[in-house]
A and B are shown apart, each in its own frame.
Chain A
Amino acid sequence: MLVLKGVAASPGIAIGPAISLPGETITVSRQYIAASEASSELQKILSAIKKTSEELDLCERKVQASLGTEYANLMSTHKLILQDPALKNSIVKKISKEFLSARSALSLTLQELAANFEKIEDPFFKERRSDIFDVGKRLLANLIGGKQEFFASIQNPSLLVAHDLFPSDTISLPENNIMGFCTDLGGKTSHTALLAQSLNIPAVVGLSSASKDVKNGDLLIVDGENGLLVINPDRYTLANYRKIQKELKKTESLLKTINHLPVITQDGHSVGLYVNYDPRTDTKENKRLVTDGLGLLRTEFLFMNTPQPPSEDLQHSLYLAVAKRFDMRPVTIRLADLGADKMPDFPLDEIDEDDNPFMGCRGVRLLLKNPDLLHTQLRAIIRTACEVPAQVRIMIPMVSSVEEVRHVRRAFEKTLKEFENENKKPVNKIALGAMIEVPAAAIALDGMINDLDFVSIGTNDLIQYLVAVDRVNPDVAHMYDPCHPAVGRTIHSIIQTTHQRGKLVTLCGEIAADSKMLPLLLGWHVDGLSVTPRMYLRVKNVIRNLNFETCSDLAQAALLMGSSEEIRNLIEQNQHEDS
């Protein structure tokens, strides 16, 4: 048995035999042909272009239907690249004049075109070479043939293993007997991952070596819940996963029945349950969710992959659409948390190469050094609040001192004044709060709480900073421990300090959706939780089965414990008693 850890791209669990996608690589060798073969090689490439074009057409229609116009546009760019005379002319010339084989001619052409893009300095345009390779690989696959035949030949339900998958291949998986897949490349928000979610098939991506470690016919478990790939599981693991799989299926259908019910414990304690909303992945299923509001709108994506900061108009149009979608409920917009792993392409003030970016200039620190960015974003948000009755809340990321809060508040009030001068006023008062994720802010919260309207606990980073563990570093990742006594005590103290001033605390991060941690979080009297759409109903279900009084007792006991082990035992004991 071998277990590989990747990124959970699409939830669910699939069990079945492996089938690997035959690789198609761009060769570097020059393969020559006899002059007499040129016309048949030309025929080959032309029919491959035709076939690829048909595939892209089909794919565009499917993407349009499942993901909408934004993604379909991506496919039409691919189609135009395929039809580009520069591509075709170069290939044809290489075959008919230099007598290269169709495959070599295509490979060389792709390399030449990509090399041209390599020379462009602007990173945004430079990235376009990946589009060319996408189209090129697809064309190559059709030239060599076999991919369609490969998919068509899959007789029994299987799990696909590939180095990488095209969105267009992904979309045809369910009709080809593929129940789940895993890839070496890709991240949680790659197009392939988004498609897998909309198709409802479990997927794990970013496994780096899966396509090498798996042989055809190996028994696989694709665990899209935890981002794991299990190769040839032992009997115990297999039985365990079959059980989980069954339970998941049962709960999925059960969960839909609680969509309209309140988020309330069995003994009547109610908690706000909000959703982390990403307009790019707003599937039909997500739209049906009944929620208490938007708990976290991340805005970094607006600032990424663009040569210039997003304008007020552009930001406003997005915020307005989001605010309308949530009607009069809370809409929490986090100011751009740029820096660290989210560095925009456009130039910023006072940002240099950083050896330790997570401790460097990110979040509010970066915004205060780039006041134009902050001002534009504040304007876009306030403008939105003037037009719709949503309860707009602005959240400041990465706060470590009260001075930062005051600086942002001054900028906020100054911007409000600008609108007042135009005789505009927010329909509802805008709340300004902070995401507490730096331990210093958590410990000295009493000093800044008077300047905040609300508090949100960002647990992913808070835990990381508390235990000084980078979750991406495999040597220490296991020490990232939500059960560490320091984590609970810090969360509890944040909640107490905030409540003493009569203000509310919500909590986001992975532990907000962790059924083991939920009894403790409720017991520490958190007012609200914000979770991803796909976890929303599950969390609601867990809360509806909890007893608030028991949770309070558990949470008090956990605060007195001195080790993770004790706390973990306490939680597990409680779960056993329940079941």
Chain B
Amino acid sequence: MIQQDIQVTNRLGIHARPAALITQTACGFTCDIRLAKDNITVDAKSIMGVMMLAAECGSSVHLITDGADEKEAAAALKKLFDDKFNEEF
């Protein structure tokens, strides 16, 4: 199991499109992937769950991956956040 805190740095926070990207990426892995913020923990493979986090810019989320491809999954998701979800106009 890998756990890490990730900062949300993109301007709009995890709105619909970043949520979609997170879910699409997460669904590409077999391991269990969870995101936690405040007292809510959600399944990263559920777009509604990810949107429920209402993670705004500047907040931090806790990423937990657990399973066969946990390393790759953790890296792939971290990259999404770091790239600010390729936010552009």
Interface residues of A (CB under 8 A from B): 73-74, 76-77, 80-81, 84-87, 113, 116-117, 120-122, 124-125, 128, 131-132, 306-308, 310-311, 314, 317-318, 321
Q: Name the A residues within 8 Å of B52 (CB-CB).
A: 116-117, 120, 125
Tally B residues with Cβ within 8 Å of A.
23
Closest Cβ neighbor of B14 among chain A residues: A125
Contact A125 B15 (CB under 8 A): yes
Closest Cβ neighbor of A120 among chain B residues: B54
Interface residues of B (CB under 8 A from A): 11-13, 15-17, 19-20, 23-24, 43, 45-49, 51-52, 54, 56-57, 88-89
CA distance A122 to B49 in the complex (A): 15
* Listed residue (A73, A80, A117) with the most chain B CB atoms within 10 angstroms of its CB: A80
Contact B48 A87 (CB under 8 A): yes
Contact B89 A314 (CB under 8 A): yes
Q: Name the A residues within 8 Å of B16 (CB-CB).
A: 73-74, 77, 128, 131
* Listed residue (A314, A318, A321) with the most chain B CB atoms within 10 angstroms of its CB: A314
Q: List 16 A-B contacts (CB under 8 A).
A: A73-B20, A77-B19, A80-B24, A84-B46, A85-B43, A85-B46, A86-B43, A116-B48, A116-B52, A117-B48, A120-B52, A122-B54, A131-B16, A308-B56, A311-B11, A318-B89
CA distance A173 to B56 in the complex (A): 38
Contact B48 A81 (CB under 8 A): yes
CA distance A125 to B48 in the complex (A): 11
Q: Name the B residues within 8 Å of A307 (CB-CB).
A: 12-13, 15, 56-57
Which of B23, B48, B51, B88 contacts A317, CB < 8 Å?
A: B88
Which of B11, B46, B51, B54 contacts A310, CB < 8 Å?
A: B11
Contact B47 A80 (CB under 8 A): yes
Q: Name the A residues within 8 Å of B57 (CB-CB).
A: 307-308
Contact A128 B43 (CB under 8 A): no
CA distance A311 to B89 in the complex (A): 11
CA distance A132 to B47 in the complex (A): 10
With known contacts A77-B17, A77-B20, A85–B12 Cβ distance under 8 A: no
* Listed residue (A121, A131, A318) with the most chain B CB atoms within 10 angstroms of its CB: A131
Contact B56 A84 (CB under 8 A): no
